[in-house]
Amino acid sequence: MNQLSVLIVDDAKFICELVSKIVKTSFPGSTVTAAYNGQEAQSIMQTSHFDLILCDWEMPKMSGLELLTWTRQQTQYKATPFVMVTSRGERSYVLKAIQAGVNDYLGKPFTGDQLTQKMNKLLSGETRLPNTRKIDQAAASLDKAENTPPIPAKSALKPKGLAQLRVRDQVIKCAIKDLSLRDVLVVIKNEGVFPTILDQAVVDIEQLSGGSVARVNGFVERIEAMERKIDAPFINVKVAFVDDDPDKMDHLAKYIASVR
C-alpha cells in the first residue's frame, strides 16, 4: 500500500522507534507518526487522518483502552484498524479491548514478522475479532512458565524478587539478583535456549510473597554464564528498561527501597 499513514501510541520511546522502523521497512513510502500517551494521540488524530493505529495499553494520562473507546466514537475512525500492542495478555484485558472495538491484539515482546503479518491482514480487509477459544489460548501461552530457578548456593546475594522474562515466544521464570530504575539482573536456568542481545523484552516483576510489582518494557543488554564452564546450570540476563511511565517507576522505586 502506497502512502500508508500509521499512528504509533506508546509511552516508551524505544518501542515507538522500533515499531516505526519495522513499518517503514515493511511498507516503503509509509508515513509513521508517534504519540507518547493517549491525550497526545487524541490531539494528533483530530488534525490528521491515519490508516492504522498501533497502540499500547498502559500509558500515563490516558490508557490505550480509553483511547480506543474515544476513537470508536469518532465518525472518521469508526472503521479504522486499531491494534492493541501490549504485554497485557490476560483474558479479562483482551475481552475489554474486544468490547471496545479493537481489531487485533499483539503481545509484547513481538517480532517484526509478527507485526507485519498483523498489518497485512488488517490492511487487506481481513479484520477479525478473536473468538473466546483463541483468547483462552493466548492467555494460556502468556501465563505458561516453568518453576522459578533458585539462586545457586555459592551466590552470596539473596533474591530480591521473582520475575517472568518475556522474550520473543519465550516466557521464562527467573529470580532477581539486582534491581534499579534503569535495569534488572535476573537468573534463569540453562536449558539450551537463550535470549539474544538487544532482543525486545518485557519483565513482570513480582514480590517474593507473590504480589505483582510492575510490568516493564526493555531490551536484553547482557547475557553471561554464572560459572566458567560450558554446561553452567544458570545464566545471568541483564535487561535495560525503556519505560517512561511515571506510575510504574514510582511503584518500582518503592519496591526497590523495600528490598534494599
Q: What is the 3-state secondary structure (H, E, C) of the chain?
A: CCCCEEEEECCCHHHHHHHHHHHHHHCCCCEEEEECCHHHHHHHHHHCCCCEEEECCCCCCCCHHHHHHHHHCCHHHCCCCEEEEECCCCHHHHHHHHHHCCCEEEECCCCHHHHHHHHHHHHCCCCCCCCHHHHHHHHHHHHCCCCCCCCCCCCCCCCCCEEEEEECCEEEEEEEEEECCCEEEEEEECCCCCCCCCCEEEEEEECCCCCEEEEEEEEEEEEEECCCCCCCCEEEEEEEECCCCHHHHHHHHHHHHHHC
User: How many whole angstroms separate alpha carbon 23 and alpha carbon 117?
Assistant: 11
User: How many whole angstroms separate alpha carbon 84 and alpha carbon 94?
Assistant: 9
Say what the pLDDT of residue 244 is. 77
Residues 136-155: pLDDT tens digits?
A: 544 444 444 344 454 444 44
User: Of 30-44, 164-178, 196-210, 239-253, which one has max mean pLDDT?
Assistant: 30-44
Question: Rounded mean pLDDT of 44-49?
Answer: 94
Query: Structural domains in the chain?
Result: 5-141 (3.40.50.2300), 162-259 (2.40.10.220)
* Edge-to-edge order in the sheet of strand 82-86: 31-35, 5-9, 52-55, 82-86, 104-107
169 pLDDT band, cuts 50/70/90, is confident
Say what the pLDDT of residue 130 is. 46
Average pLDDT, the chain: 82
